[in-house]
Amino acid sequence: MKTILLTGGGTAGHVMPNLALVPRLRDAGWHVEYVGSYTGMERQLVESEGIPYHGVATGKLRRYRDLENLKDPFRVIRGVAQSYALIGRLKPTVVFSKGGFVGLPLAVAARLRRVPVILHEADLTLGLANRLALPFATKVAVTFAETAASLPKGKAVHTGLPIRREVLSGDGRHLAASYGFTHQRPVLLVTGGSSGAKALNEAIWSNLPRLLEHFQIVHLCGRNKTNPDIGNVQGYVQIEYAQGEMPDLLAMSQVVMSRAGSNTIFELLALKKPHLLIPLPASQSRGDQIQNAKLFAAHGYSAMVEEEHLASVDLCDTLVQLYEGRESYVQSMESAPAADGVAEVMKLITSYGRD
């Protein structure tokens, strides 16, 4: 049986596309194992899917000054040695890295072992970990076709982003009933992630009375970020975070207000769900969400407001206009290339796994 080593961690965005591939890999006869950090959040996500998990040492690839940066090169070297031994024992046919700092030691070790390495980049430009791993990669699967122009000739393959099957098959009718929602007003889903939720939360709360004249709202506020001063308000539901309910919440919603992480926007594109993107500002990120959102807005898939302009726009009017003009956005999204990249990534992996 052919073995594939998946890696990627640090955020759910580096794990979920890997998990989206697992059912198809298993159906195609691959044995799947996962390499992550010792204590990263990826361990719980991966082990809950019954996938064998291997922890290795890794640095954090910080972009800021910190004494820990002096130790990180030694951690990466140790991780490379551990990965080299692991590859020798498991004998994988191919390594697939979704990015994040944990992927670098495995990519280096795989190159030393002459095992093909496929990187996947979700954003418009390569993240730091993938930039460092690029010299060791055989191919780079890119989510945006535009990304290929910035990579060495012949290295990039446009695949799109693997999306979990369950995201595309949600059913929100039971949730709508449990929230007491009716068919009289559309449902607005608001999600800002965890660290990026504060600005979106405040924008919703400051506009809540007017918004409720037009929408029923499900508001994912982030862990420990709900507003206790808002009591039971008809048509408004606060949730800290969604676990397995996210596909049903998306299915129930007619409009979405969100950050602009690649996983989220490609799920919205695949679902043809009209949405307003408010990307994380450059002060809180490397600017990848701004690039993602601007490109989606240029294609007519998304409405967009940058966070620094959020206080100066009429959020209620913006969302109402988005909903009233939803057919235009849906038409643009319907003309987009396939948003779900599972099939294309599988083709690329299979090309290195032929007997």
- CATH number at 28 reads 3.40.50.2000
Structure tokens at 78: 């140790």
- Residues 8, 81 within the same domain: yes
CA distance 118 to 139: 5
φ, ψ dihedrals at 284, nearest 5°: -115, 5
DSSP 63-83: SS--GGGGTHHHHHHHHHHHH
- Residues 137, 253 within the same domain: no
- Residues 158, 170 within the same domain: no
Per-residue confidence band for 355, with pLDDT thresholds at 50, 70 and 90? low
β-sheet bridge partners, residue 256: 189, 275
Which of 180, 181, 27, 6 lies closest to 99 in space, CA to CA?
A: 6
CA distance 15 to 35: 11
The answer to whether residue 100 scores a pLDDT higher than 90 is no
β-sheet bridge partners, residue 36: 55
pLDDT-above-70 percentage for the chain: 95
The range of the structural domain enclosing residue 225 comes to: 166-334
- Residues 147, 250 within the same domain: no
The answer to whether residue 87 scores a pLDDT higher than 60 is yes
The answer to whether residue 63 scores a pLDDT higher than 60 is no
β-sheet bridge partners, residue 35: 7, 54
Give the pLDDT of residue 153: 92
- Residues 300, 211 within the same domain: yes
- Residues 129, 195 within the same domain: no
What is the tens place of the pLDDT at every residue in 105-144? 999 999 999 999 999 999 998 988 899 999 999 999 999 9
What average pLDDT is seen over the chain?
Answer: 91
HEC string for 81-112:
HHHHHHHHHHCCCEEEECCCCCHHHHHHHHHH
Per-residue confidence band for 23, with pLDDT thresholds at 50, 70 and 90? very high
**Maximum C-alpha span of the chain:** 62
β-sheet bridge partners, residue 56: 37
* pLDDT (average), residues 147-161: 93
Burial class (CB in 10 A: 0-12, 13-18, 19+), 152: exposed
Query: How many structural domains are present in the chain?
Result: 2
